[in-house]
Amino acid sequence: MHYISTRGQAPVLTFGEAMMTGLARDGGLYLPETIPQMGAAEIAALAGQSYEEIAFRVMRPFMGDLFTEDEFRELIAKAYAGFGHAARAPLVQLAPNHFLLELFHGPTLAFKDFAMQLIGQMMQAALAKTGERITIVGATSGDTGSAAIEAFKGLSNVDVFILFPHGRVSEVQRRQMTTPSDSNVHALALDGDFDDCQARVKDMFNDFAFRDGVRLAGVNSINWARVLAQVVYYFSSAVSLGAPHRKVSFTVPTGNFGDIFAGYIAKRMGLPIDRLVIATNQNDILDRALRSGDYATDGVKPSISPSMDIQVSSNFERALFEAYGRDGRAVAQLMAELKEGRFHISQGALEVLRSHYDSGRCSEAETRATIASELAASGELLCPHGAVGVKVAQDHLGAMPMITLATAHPAKFPDAVEGATGIRPGLPPRMADLFDRPERVTRVPNDLAALQALVRDRI
Ligand SMILES: Cc1ncc(COP(=O)(O)O)c(C=O)c1O
Ligand SMILES: N[C@@H](CCOP(=O)(O)O)C(=O)O
């Protein structure tokens, strides 16, 4: 299995190399050269299997010979052992044709744990084979950072630096990143928004002297392994509703486009998915782009679903690569135009995108109203991101079962949930002292040279 860059100019890599490389050296994102297929019989055989077994069968064909089958099974088992629900990703019914996929039972209470716990295991195993030491630098709007810190804290051969936008994550998210006492964890509050954080991380990757000097690695969804691990729960949930004999649709609260792109990969592998619905908050650039063909940034607006406060949606590049017939030169041109704030999607590419994806937007008022109405209707207490998904899904319900992804636990956003319902969701007992633990954080400017100096100094 070979991996190629969306911009067509970077070395072709193996799975293991792509996982440890992060951003491609031409600035693009890695994707498998061909997408492995699962036939109807193989998909049907997933029914009744454990989440871990489904993960093994879905991911294995992408991985080449990085691990033996036994090694990979063991890594999967370790990755999901700490989840607080036996099903790992349970499905609950909201309405006759509407289901919620709860992805918040992992250690940091967000869907990021599904991929981060596993790549934490895989990267450690790969490093143990080579004896290397790496520096992870990640950008977060709140959830990737805490999941990465949880997965890599305390390791002697990894430093983990997380850039988050100062004042723009929830207090629970911030404390999850700033309270671990391990010396290899570095929480950095950047003066800027998430797009600035992500841009500085990509700048570090594009500075080869820095990148090679610190042995930079990425755990954002830049990293293909992150996306791959998220493909699994599309299979587990669809199969539990009757796939491959019954088609399903998914609605995905979307920001950086990694999660919904994992759904696209599941579909390309053969899972019978009808529609993939992009749900955005008031940062609705993806909804506008799909409707008009113009991808035009207009500044990040802080919202009550802060993890989706994103304008430069990293994995949309992977979707464009697919929509442009895997033409790396065309994608590189669009990404060059994006540096000026906008690009136009060709009619042909737009039609390909629309053949897979629908989209919708949820305002702040609608988010609050949905948290309240869903609690009254089904008893489910949604986080604001899940509420964005549920509202947009309700606008797209049809004859086909719809699965909405609940991407975070409501206790990560207690103010927003309490404001909508009067109920303040509590953290699980293992996190009960989160507000008593001392915080450790460095305020940093939105300045590449200063950030690079800090990283060099700390490792
Ligand atoms: C809770 C939550 N919901 C939704 C999203 C959006 O997911 P993606 O960036 O993969 O589109 C994020 C951030 O990634 C998130 O943390
Ligand atoms: N919403 C994310 C933003 C980063 O996304 P990623 O999937 O590329 O890591 C967050 O919570 O940090």
The H-or-E segment that residue 368 falls in is helix 364-378
Atom of ligand 2 nearest to the CA of 308: 1
Residue having the nearest C-alpha atom to atom 11 of ligand 2: 143
How far does residue 444's CA lie from ligand 2's centre (Å)? Answer: 19
What pLDDT score does 221 carry? 97
| CA-closest residue to ligand 2 atom 7 | 221
Q: Name the residue among 249, 346, 336 with its Cα closest to residue 289.
A: 346
Best mutation site among 177, 407, 413 for ligand 1 pocket (most ligand atoms within 8 Å of CB): 407
Atom of ligand 2 lying closest to residue 143 CA:
11
Report the separation in Å between the CA atom of 32 and the middle of ligand 2, taken as the mean of its atom positions. 21
Q: State the Cα–Cα distance between residues 134 and 111, nearest whole angstrom.
A: 25
Q: Is the CB of 144 under 6 A from ligand 2?
A: yes
**What pLDDT score was predicted for residue 382?**
98
Q: What is the pLDDT of residues 59-71, one digit of tens each?
A: 999 999 999 999 9
Dihedral angle sign, alpha carbons of residues 41, 45, 47, 52:
negative
ipTM for this prediction: 0.99
Q: List the structure tokens of 78.
A: 């370790």
Q: For ligand 2, say whether the CB of 198 is within 6 Å of any of its atoms.
A: no
Any atom of ligand 2 within 6 Å of the Cβ of 258:
yes
- Pocket flag, ligand 2, residue 192 (CB < 6 Å): no
Supply the residues annotated as catalytic.
112
Exposure string for 213-239, b = 16+ CB within 10 A, e = fewer? ebbbbbbbbbbbbbbbbbbbbbbbbbb
- Pocket-forming residues, ligand 1, beta carbon under 6 Å: 110, 143, 221, 253-259, 307-308, 385, 407-408
pLDDT at 3: 98
Residue whose CA is at the smallest distance from ligand 2 atom 9: 220
- Nearest bound ligand to the CA of residue 176: 2
What is the distance in A from the centroid of ligand 2 to the CA of 28? Answer: 17
What pLDDT sits at residue 331?
Answer: 98
Residue owning the nearest CA to atom 12 of ligand 1? 307
Ligand closest to 222 (CA) is: 2
- Sheet strands (E) in 29-182: 30-32, 91-95, 98-102, 134-139, 158-165
DSSP letter for each residue of 97-124: TEEEEE---STTSBTHHHHHHHHHHHHH
Residue 50, exposed/middle/buried by CB under 10 A (0-12, 13-18, 19+)? middle
**Hey, whose CA ends up nearest to atom 9 of ligand 1?**
256
Confidence at residue 341, expressed as pLDDT on a 0 to 100 scale? 96
Residue 112 Cα, ligand 1 centroid: separation in angstroms? 8
pLDDT tens column, 344-382: 999 999 999 999 999 999 999 999 999 999 999 999 999
Query: Cα–Cα distance between 307 and 142 in angstroms, integer?
Result: 6
Would the CB of 314 count as within 6 Å of ligand 2?
Answer: yes
Task: Of 41, 66, 43, 62, give the one whose Cα is nearest residue 54.
Answer: 43
Distance 84 CA to ligand 2 centre (A): 22
pLDDT in tens, 121-162: 999 999 999 999 999 999 999 999 999 999 999 999 999 999
Q: What residues have CB less than 8 Å from 187, skipping those under 6 apart?
A: 145, 149, 162, 164, 177, 178, 440, 441, 442
Is the shortest distance between the CB of 173 and ligand 2 below 6 Å?
no
Look up the pTM and report it: 0.98
Sign for the pseudo-dihedral over CA of 323, 324, 326, 328: negative
Residue 363 phi/psi, 5-degree rounding, is -75, 170
Q: Give me Rg for the CA atoms of the chain.
A: 20
pLDDT beneath 70, residues of the chain = none
Phi, psi at 238, each rounded to 5°: -65, -40
Ligand sitting nearest the alpha carbon of 177: 2
- For residue 388, the ligand closest to its alpha carbon is 1
Helix 51-59 / helix 224-240 crossing angle, nearest 10 deg: 130
The answer, yes or no, to whether any atom of ligand 2 lies below 6 A from the CB of 281, is: no
How far is it, in rounded angstroms, from Cα 430 to Cα 386?
23
Q: What is the pLDDT of residue 281?
A: 98
